[in-house]
Amino acid sequence: MQMKHELVLATRNKGKVAEVERLLKVHAPNVLLRSVAEFDLADVEETGDTFEANAILKALTIAKETGLPALADDSGISIDALGGAPGVYSARWAGKHGDDLANIEKVIRELVDVPDSKRGAAFVCVIALALPNGKTFTVRGELRGMVRHAPSGSEGFGYDPIFQPDGYQITTAEMSPEEKDSISHRGIALRKIAPEIQPFLSGDK
Ligand code: ITT
């Protein structure tokens, strides 16, 4: 039997954890995922101004602190009419980190006068792998869509209730988890990185 590679999932967001676990179980079955919650570590401060910088910062900090390889996700929504904001500030857009309802309300208010033709947006996800020795690797996934005027649906997390992907009439919060995975920014990034994990961990890449 092949040995499983241990990998610490360096995210505390429960919505993301569920999606990453679901996708890696299918696309990287040889990886034994451990949670950052198993270790007594402080939160990593996200000081970068790009998704790539923050994903690397999170993965590298956790890899160094645990002595194990780590995988981190930095993600968010980039809204055309807001010049790409909230971007890396998506989790704390309304002030308090991770207050999904307040974040949604703030975006709805900011776009109140913006017509449908100008409500384009993208969900962006950068996944980083890091080793305790400093080696890193990143991939990016994006999903284009538009911002709805009002929330709809109760699946998913974050901005899902107001995000309608291109080609759909429903929000990502109205999709089954499997349907969201099949098109999402995180699904795209994880399917890209899955085949790279084993070579990366065993030093072949
Ligand atoms: P970790 O840093 O612990 O991974 P976090 O929630 O702080 O968790 P980020 O800084 O990457 O993570 O912020 C991501 C935010 O972007 C998240 O809180 C949501 O508001 C939003 N977001 C990311 N992916 C999303 C998705 O699939 N659906 C809806 N909103 C999403």
Q: How high is the pLDDT of residue 18?
A: 92
Which pLDDT belongs to residue 166?
98
| Cα 151 to ligand 1 centre (Å) | 17
pLDDT of res. 186? 97
**Pocket test residue of 36, 51, 90, 174 for ligand 1, highest count of atoms within 8 A of CB:** 90
Looking at residue 200, its pLDDT comes to 92
Interval 149-202: pLDDT, tens: 999 999 999 999 999 999 999 999 999 999 999 999 999 999 999 999 989 988
Q: State the average pLDDT for the chain.
A: 95
Atom of ligand 1 lying closest to residue 88 CA:
10
- Rounded distance between C-alpha atoms, residue 104 and residue 161, angstroms: 8
Distance 30 CA to ligand 1 centre (A): 26
Question: Which residues are bridge partners to 4 per DSSP?
Answer: none
Q: What is the pLDDT of residue 187?
A: 96
Give the tokens for residue 153.
Answer: 């649906």
Quote the CA–CA distance of 165 and 180 in Å, as a whole number.
10
What pLDDT score does 83 carry? 98
**pLDDT at res. 1:** 54
> Residue 178's pLDDT is what?
95
Ligand 1 lining (C-beta closer than 6 Å) = 11-13, 16, 46, 73-77, 90-91, 98, 100, 103, 123, 156-160, 184, 186
Q: Which atom of ligand 1 is nearest to the CA of 74?
A: 11
- Which domains does the chain possess? 5-202 (3.90.950.10)
Neighbours of 8 (CB within 10 A): 24
Residue with the nearest Cα to atom 18 of ligand 1? 91
Backbone φ, ψ for residue 147 (5° rounding): -90, 125
* Tokens representing residue 182 in the block: 């099949």
Cβ neighbours of residue 26 under 8 Å, at least 6 residues apart?
none
pLDDT per residue as tens, the chain (205 positions): 567 889 999 999 999 999 999 999 998 999 999 999 999 999 999 999 999 999 999 999 999 999 999 999 999 999 999 999 999 999 999 999 999 999 999 999 999 999 999 999 999 999 999 999 999 999 999 999 999 999 999 999 999 999 999 999 999 999 999 999 999 999 999 999 999 998 998 876 6
Residues catalogued as catalytic? 74
Q: Helix/strand/coil (H, E, C) string of the chain?
A: CCCCEEEEECCCCHHHHHHHHHHHHHHCCCEEEEEHHHCCCCCCCCCCCCHHHHHHHHHHHHHHHHCCCEEEEEEEEEEHHHCCCEHHHHHHCCCCCCCHHHHHHHHHHHCCCCCHHHCEEEEEEEEEEECCCCCEEEEEEEEEEEECCCCCCCCCCCCHHHEEECCCCCCHHHCCHHHHHHHCHHHHHHHHHHHHHHHHHCCCC
From CA 73, how far away is CA 107, in angstroms rounded? 22
